[in-house]
Structure 1
């Protein structure tokens, strides 16, 4: 029974990973945003906000490109479009906070919210793909 549970968990994890790869492979702008988000967010989680301070404008540019990109047909829903709009607006706010030298706690809070918004989009894509 334990072996079956382990095998099931492995298959489930691989399916989720494959699904995410499919989303990113079919939507290069989402993948590009993820690349910068991953770099800046995981660094900030470890207490280093230097990367987001250096790359906040790039993150906003990637969000803009995603907003203006051709959304793959499988993911082109009103909910995903609305979340992308919010992602772009929130990235602009974060960039302004960095440029105005807001406190690190404020920047981290905005970056965390932006990270959550990104995962909301990926989650909506997964739901749409099922």
Structure 2
């Protein structure tokens, strides 16, 4: 049952991210790299994430400094983008310093969660 709910949540997040990226190219770029690196890590394959750690950081930095669409501008978004950049930098640093795989995998999950925080703020309705 948990696996079924995870799959449903994954599809929902993918659909939401797709709609958001239509308006925000930097979000689309980051979504591409994180999906191509995080999902293999769930199956124990950290090679894509390690090989692309600098790209993950560079794309997070680009996203954090990109022009946020007006509908998504908020102090929470600014904080979430800053956190994503910080966590991606930490991930890249851990890979560069050849930290143990369990630590790298854990930090990649932190980066992934930080991305979902940004994506979640894109779907929140403003009142």
Is 1:76 the counterpart of 2:80 in the alignment? no
* Contact 1:75–1:128, Cα closer than 8 Å, also in 2: no
Q: Which runs of 4+ in 1 moved over 4 A?
A: 14-19
Is 1:26 the counterpart of 2:17 in the alignment? no
Unmatched 5+ stretches in structure 2:
1-10
**Corresponding residue pairs, total:** 117
* Contact 2:40–2:46, Cα closer than 8 Å, also in 1: yes
Could you tell me the TM-score, scaled by structure 1's length?
Answer: 0.83
Deviations 1:22-78 (A, max 9, x none): 211100001100100000000100100001110000000101111111100000111
> Is the partner of 1:26 in helix, strand or coil?
coil
* Contact 1:90–1:114, Cα closer than 8 Å, also in 2: yes
* Contact 2:81–2:118, Cα closer than 8 Å, also in 1: yes
* Contact 1:74–1:128, Cα closer than 8 Å, also in 2: no
**Corresponding position of 1:40:** 37
What CA distance in whole angstroms lies between the structure 1 residues aligned with 2:75 and 2:65?
15
Is 1:99 the counterpart of 2:78 in the alignment? no
> Is the partner of 1:44 in helix, strand or coil?
helix
Q: CA deviation at 1:128?
A: 3.6
Q: Higher helix share goes to which structure? A: 1
* Contact 1:33–1:59, Cα closer than 8 Å, also in 2: yes
What CA distance in whole angstroms lies between the structure 2 residues aligned with 1:58 and 1:31?
14
**Corresponding position of 1:115:** 112
Indicate the structure (1 or 2) with the bigger Cα radius of gyration. Answer: 1
Taking the TM superposition and a 5 Å limit, the aligned residue runs for 1:5-24 are 19-24=16-21
> Is the partner of 2:52 in helix, strand or coil?
helix
